[in-house]
Structure 1
Amino acid sequence: MKVAKFGGSSVASAEQLKKVARIIESDESRRVVVVSAPGKRDDADTKVTDLLIELGQAFQNGEDTTDELNAVLSRFKQIITELDLTDRVLKDIKEDVHKLFTEGGDIDFKLEALKAIGEDSLAKVLSEYLVKVGMDATYLNPKDAGIMLSDEPGSAQILDESFDHIYNIRKRDQIVVIPGFFGYTKEGKLVTFSRGGSDITGSIVAAGVEAELYENFTDVDSVYCVNPQIVHNPKEITSLTYKEMRELSYAGFSVFHAEALIPAFKAEIPVSIKNTNNPNALGTIIVSRKEVRGDPVVGIASDKGFMSLYVSKYLMNREVGFGRRLLNILEDEGISYEHTPSGIDDLSVIIRENQMDEEKEQVVINRINQELNPDTVYTERGLALIMVVGEEMHCHVGTAAKAAQAIGDAGVNIEMINQGSSEVSLMFGIKEAGVKKAVQSLYNAFFE
């Protein structure tokens, strides 16, 4: 059994859905299909999920929602018309929206349910089309599939008992089409994953049914070793490990949601990235472990929008609990950290900038001064992180020196360096303005 997940670009139009149907039909082991909401048809287009968020905002603000609702209905109407299907899904959308807008209940729940309409409706459309072209297929709601989540709207987590329920999908003879992005709490409340969460659904279902392969269909032939917008025509990655993909996803690779592979990783299910528009291309395979290739670096990723919180105090290393108390202050203020490179008398905490505005920054600094009595404390904004990733780096002498030299050759100053104990990645902190030059130089050093 294979689980095939199709992203937003793969289901953006009727023409794309015809390609999806042909892919499903070409392999009888593709018995479970997970879908996103329709994405952009071109650069000027709007994703259906964004249209639904606009609809929710208009409702929340007490504004007329006619235009926003019509925009959603128009996208599905065009798909349904071109596939020559019934208008049942359009009626479902209208009824669902009307029910959410007129019945009582928590506003957060209503907004969650609105966001999920895109995936839910598309799954119904695709299952109806598969039947129309002669396949034995059916729509399966996440609740009926057994996808039970924690009660954390917008960032829900899978509950362990879900996997036993999901395994029952194997008993079905039909092709089942499951909407991604959302599930239900034990109390029956609809909750969603974070944005990009359809990838999480696909991974969860693959783990639950113990699939031999989880196929993730998108709009690229494979994962590239560096962002094609920074380096023209970069080399493709034919295979990489879960750990490598996790590091690359965290640092800006947009192919996968950063959390998406965790269920598949735990179940050791290989993941294949394929192109809906070119399904016969080799693609990229992601596995738990791979043969030694002799290449220390598989990819280079970069992401902007970071800041550092620098704290210095003489004899910090002798002050038991200093780091814990510093992180407690951040926890109290609802701030999570990314990295904590440190020295004997100083400690830096890397934070995403959007977590700490200037007002919260002042609160944090005041608390640090009052509670920890440091010699120095300040922040630095406008940082970018570059991750040089590869599980074989630990057995190659000079990889860090080569990377640092490449960044220096680009005329970019390194603000900080950090390497985890697993030695899967090297992290360099630089100013955002130098990202393009640094990544290009690193690519030339390791891949050219």
Structure 2
Amino acid sequence: MKVSKFGGTSVASAAQIKKVAAIIKEDAARKIVVVSAPGKRFDDDIKVTDLLISLANASLSGNDAEKELQAVVERYADIAAGLGLGDEIVQVIEQDLRDRIGQSKENRDLFVDQLKASGEDNNAKLIAAYFSSIGLEAEYVNPKEAGLIVSDEPGRARALPEAYENLRNLRDRKGVVVFPGFFGYSKDGVMMTFARGGSDITGSILAAAIGAELYENFTDVDSVFAANPRVVDQPVEIKRMTYREMRELSYAGFSVFHDEALMPAFQHSVPVCIKNTNNPSAEGTMIVAEREYTKSPVIGIAADGGFSTIYVSKYLMNRELGFGRRLLQILEEEDISYEHTPSGIDDLSVIVRSHQLTPEKEERIIHKCREELKVDDVHIEHHFAMIVLVGEGMHNTKGLTARATTAISQAGANIEMINQGSSEVSLVFGIHEDDTNNVLKALYKEFFSTTAVLGV
């Protein structure tokens, strides 16, 4: 039994959904289908999720939201017409949206979340109806009915242990189960959404729960590439990679798969395959627990911008017990999580995602560092990027860091920070954002210029 998840571009239009149906028909083992909300049909298109956010905001403002509601309904109506479905499914979707708008607005975040989740939920209803119309035995299953019980953490919910026990019963369903991604329900019956890439997380949870032989994640690319193809010309494909490698690359900017989504599959030893809805015969990328050693110690290079650095300096900092803890506590009080903490004897840098900072928060952080920590200097700088080299073979490869730093130097960039985790699966370089593309190209040339295919 396989779980097949289809992303937003794979279910964005009637033509795409017909491809999905053909893929499901092709393999009888594909018994559980997880779907996202309709994504973009073309570059300048608007995703249904964004239309739903506009609808939520209009409703919260107290204005007449009919125009925004009809914009959502029209997208589904267009898909339904293209699939030869009648008006009945469109009426079901419209009534669902009106019911959601009528719910309590006391908690604004929950109100927005439950409207956003309607994108996946209603698309699952529509796709199940289409499958049935073409002779596929299929049914829509709501996460609440299936028992997808999650923690009470809006926007970052996690599946609870009992959810896996409940979801295992999906194995006994006849035909194809069409399941909406992105959300579950708390023990109190309140809808909760997952983090970014929520539909990927749903698919991974279901694959783990039913003990699937494979979790297929269908997107719009043939495979995972060793570097961003929008920056590097024709990067090599990665044929096989480990969970750890994919998680590191996803965290560092690879948009093809969200880093949190791998954990349920990894913990239950379910292999994952990234495949292309538009080219399903392509081999794709297999993500497994272990892989064969390849010639290149580096399997992929990721780059992600939007970082800021909090620099703190104090003489004899290294001899002051609890200094680091108190500094991180200051950040915790401002609801800021950190990414890296490179340090020296008298200096400590804390690298954070820039979106967490505001001018007011920065002012408070600086004030607290001066008043509570009695630092000699503290300041915050912005516009940094992190370049990450990833590969299971890096830990026993001599001279790799030297090769990387030489390539970065030749690209004309200055290295602001170097960090390597204890697992030695990744090596991180902090640089200025303006240098990102040049550094990415230079590192790719250094490590992949003679490598044709990875993980064969």
TM bucket normalised to smaller: over 0.9
Residues 26-35 or 82-91, more deviating: 82-91
Does the CA contact (< 8 Å) of 2:104 and 2:111 recur in 1? no
Match of 1:234 in 2: 235
| Residue correspondence of structure 1 range 298-317 to structure 2 within 5 A | 298-317=299-318
Secondary structure of 1:253's aligned partner = coil
Does the CA contact (< 8 Å) of 2:272 and 2:288 recur in 1? yes
Q: Within 2, Cα distance between the matches of 1:83 and 1:66?
A: 25
Match of 2:294 in 1: 293
Does the CA contact (< 8 Å) of 1:312 and 1:347 recur in 2? yes
Match of 2:57 in 1: 57
| Residue correspondence of structure 1 range 311-326 to structure 2 within 5 A | 311-326=312-327
| Residue correspondence of structure 1 range 68-147 to structure 2 within 5 A | 68-104=68-104, 106=106, 107-147=108-148
Match of 2:44 in 1: 44
Does the CA contact (< 8 Å) of 1:308 and 1:349 recur in 2? yes
Match of 2:26 in 1: 26
Q: Which residue type is aligned with residue 288 of structure 2? A: V
Residues 98-131 of structure 1, C-alpha deviation per residue, up to 9 Å, x if partnerless? 2233344534332221111111111111111111
Match of 2:199 in 1: 198
Match of 1:273 in 2: 274
Q: Within 2, Cα distance between the matches of 1:404 and 1:388?
A: 12
Which blocks of at least 5 consecutive residues in structure 1 are unaligned?
none
Match of 2:283 in 1: 282
Question: What is the TM-score with the length of structure 2 in the denominator?
Answer: 0.96
Does the CA contact (< 8 Å) of 2:155 and 2:192 recur in 1? yes
Secondary structure of 1:4's aligned partner = strand
Does the CA contact (< 8 Å) of 1:203 and 1:214 recur in 2? yes
Does the CA contact (< 8 Å) of 1:148 and 1:186 recur in 2? yes
Match of 2:349 in 1: 348
Residues 128-177 of structure 1, C-alpha deviation per residue, up to 9 Å, x if partnerless? 11111111111010112221111222221211221111111111122100
Match of 2:35 in 1: 35
Q: Within 2, Cα distance between the matches of 1:150 and 1:243?
A: 25
Q: Which residue type is aligned with residue 65 of structure 1? A: A
Q: What is the aligned residue count?
A: 448
Q: Does 2:190 correspond to 1:169?
A: no
Match of 2:454 in 1: none
Q: Within 1, Cα distance between the matches of 2:406 and 2:348?
A: 25
Which blocks of at least 5 consecutive residues in structure 2 are unaligned?
450-456
Does the CA contact (< 8 Å) of 1:222 and 1:274 recur in 2? yes
Match of 2:359 in 1: 358
Q: Which residue type is aligned with residue 113 of structure 1? A: Q
Q: Within 2, Cα distance between the matches of 1:86 and 1:331?
A: 53
Match of 2:453 in 1: none
Aligned-pair identity (%): 57
Match of 2:222 in 1: 221
1:93 CA drift (Å)? 2.4
Does the CA contact (< 8 Å) of 2:35 and 2:180 recur in 1? yes
Does the CA contact (< 8 Å) of 2:60 and 2:105 recur in 1? no
Residues 257-316 of structure 1, C-alpha deviation per residue, up to 9 Å, x if partnerless? 221111111111110000000000011000111122232100000011001111111221
Does the CA contact (< 8 Å) of 1:314 and 1:345 recur in 2? yes
1:67 CA drift (Å)? 1.4
Q: Within 2, Cα distance between the matches of 1:97 and 1:112?
A: 13
Does the CA contact (< 8 Å) of 1:204 and 1:264 recur in 2? yes
